[in-house]
């Protein structure tokens, strides 16, 4: 078992190093012509949530298995760079992107991005976490006091930390953050230059490979249970003018997500076919870790649904922590007419 874990982790590391590798394209070449009803395919640009990790492989699955084509789309998948995808979608540089809902709320309420709406949930719980390793004397949130953490300046993990700290009983003024790049954060942790890093929970195998130590994760979802993870966003213009197109695209993407979770090994191979630098074992490992965050605790709830009450609680949580400069309601950031119904 240890050997398998090390193999998967090493593969995850290789994928991390190929973070923004290109999207090659046997499927790009094959996906042309017409859709299931014989009509010409509509061209769509889709950004991944971050690079070409296994956690985003479901988009390639939807393309490779023909789900997009059946829905009438010719999809160009490009590597995204986190919550900043909101800005690209709002400005029309891309049609769709999955971004962390909390990060999107912070951007919207603080005047950094407008003209976008979420139309489906990808993860029902946030995957944001503080990651460290054994030997750093960090086992609980309170142990972060007096420690130095690294993260990118725009990371949702970092920007949400004040709220996490308040709820977890941490004195945030006693925690130091330094800047790092997404590709180098784990290396910083491994070198000992920092005590912890901002990370998603699916990064655990890579952390253990780089540091050669057991990873210790402090998931934000342990203290902020109402927060969603990634949601699919599009521009308000597209949502208003092409609602049926949005519904069809969302359904095809979610079909790819469901298939990828049910067939993680195959999804890894599909990612490898389209992103040559990807390692199938790493992709499947990430999907297995991600599965628990995608499925709703309510087994009768459909994939992709968003609950207005939970979003309102998330907004209230951020408002109470003083992280929002203006008031916000769920329907300002979620188009509930387009969200899949439970």
Domain coordinates in residue numbering, the chain: 14-124+229-333, 128-222
The edge-to-edge listing of strands for the beta sheet with 97-100 is 97-100, 230-235, 116-121
Q: What pLDDT was estimated at residue 28?
A: 44
176 phi/psi in degrees, rounded to 5:
-105, 130
At 209-235, the pLDDT tens digits run 789 999 999 999 999 988 999 999 999
Least confident of 22-31, 93-102, 180-189, 253-262: 22-31
Q: Alpha carbon of 280 to those of 10, 26, 54, 264, 293: distances in Å?
A: 11, 17, 8, 9, 21
Q: pLDDT band at residue 34, thresholds of 50, 70 and 90? A: low
Two tokens, residue 146: 């007096």
Q: What pLDDT was estimated at residue 301?
A: 72
Number of Cβ within a 10 Å radius of residue 39 = 9
**Which of 10-24, 183-197, 282-296 has the highest average model confidence (pLDDT)?**
183-197
CB 185 within 8 A of CB 151: yes
Mean pLDDT of 173-197: 93
* Dihedral angle sign, alpha carbons of residues 167, 172, 174, 178: positive
Mean pLDDT of 176-201: 92
325-335 in b/e burial notation, b at 16+ Cβ within 10 A? eeebebebbbb
Q: What pLDDT was estimated at residue 18?
A: 43
At 37-57, the pLDDT tens digits run 667 999 999 999 888 888 999
The residue behind tokens 């490979």 is: 209
Q: pLDDT band at residue 60, thresholds of 50, 70 and 90? A: very high
SS (H, E, C) 184-245: CHHHHHHHCCCCEEEEEHHHHHHHHHHHCCCEEEEEHHHCCCCCCCEEEEEEHHHHHHCHHH
Q: What pLDDT was estimated at residue 262?
A: 97
What is the C-alpha R_g of the chain?
19
Q: Quick one: which of 8, 234, 206, 193 has its CA closest to 104?
A: 234
Does the pLDDT at position 115 exceed 50?
Answer: yes
The residue behind tokens 């298939």 is: 259
Q: What pLDDT was estimated at residue 9?
A: 42
Q: pLDDT band at residue 6, thresholds of 50, 70 and 90? A: very low
Q: pTM score > 0.85 for this model?
A: no
Q: Quick one: which of 96, 93, 91, 90 has its CA closest to 59?
A: 96
Mean pLDDT of 14-34: 46
Does the pLDDT at position 22 exceed 80?
Answer: no
Judge if 14-124+229-333 and 128-222 fold alike in CATH terms: yes
Protein fold of 128-222: D-Maltodextrin-Binding Protein; domain 2 (3.40.190)
Distance CA 225, CA 111 (A): 26
Q: Alpha carbon of 198 to those of 89, 204, 261, 265: distances in Å?
A: 25, 12, 25, 27
- The CATH number that domain 14-124+229-333 falls under is 3.40.190.10
């Amino acid at each position: 078992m240890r050997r398998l874990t090390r193999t998967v982790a090493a593969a995850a590391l290789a994928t991390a190093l190929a973070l923004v590798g290109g999207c090659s394209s046997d499927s790009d070449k094959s996906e042309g012509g017409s859709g299931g009803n014989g009509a010409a395919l509509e061209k769509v640009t889709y950004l991944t949530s971050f690079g070409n990790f296994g956690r985003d492989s479901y988009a390639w699955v939807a393309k490779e298995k023909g789900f997009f084509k059946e829905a009438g789309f010719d999809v160009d998948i490009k590597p995204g760079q986190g919550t900043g995808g909101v800005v690209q979608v709002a400005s029309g540089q891309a049609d769709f992107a999955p971004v962390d809902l909390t990060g999107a709320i912070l951007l919207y309420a603080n005047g950094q991005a407008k003209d976008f709406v979420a139309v489906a949930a990808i993860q029902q719980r946030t995957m944001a976490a503080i990651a460290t390793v054994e030997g750093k004397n960090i086992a609980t949130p309170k142990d972060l006091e007096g420690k130095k953490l690294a993260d990118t300046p725009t990371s949702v993990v970092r920007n949400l930390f004040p709220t996490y700290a308040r709820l977890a009983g941490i004195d945030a003024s006693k925690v130091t953050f330094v800047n790092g790049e997404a590709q180098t954060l784990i290396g910083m942790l491994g070198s000992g230059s920092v005590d912890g890093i901002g990370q998603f929970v699916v990064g655990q195998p890579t952390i253990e490979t780089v540091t050669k130590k057991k990873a210790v994760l402090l998931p934000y979802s342990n203290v902020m249970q109402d927060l969603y993870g990634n949601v699919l966003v599009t521009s308000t213009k597209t949502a208003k003018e092409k609602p049926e197109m949005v519904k069809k695209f969302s359904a095809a993407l979610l079909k790819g997500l469901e298939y990828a979770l049910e067939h993680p090994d195959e999804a890894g191979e599909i990612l490898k076919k389209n992103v040559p630098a990807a390692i199938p074992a790493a992709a499947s490992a990430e999907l297995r870790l991600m599965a628990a965050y995608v499925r709703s605790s309510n087994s009768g709830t459909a994939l992709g649904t968003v609950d207005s009450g939970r979003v309102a609680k998330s907004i209230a949580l951020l408002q109470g922590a003083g992280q929002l400069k203006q008031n916000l309601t769920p329907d300002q950031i979620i188009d509930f007419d387009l969200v899949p119904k439970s």
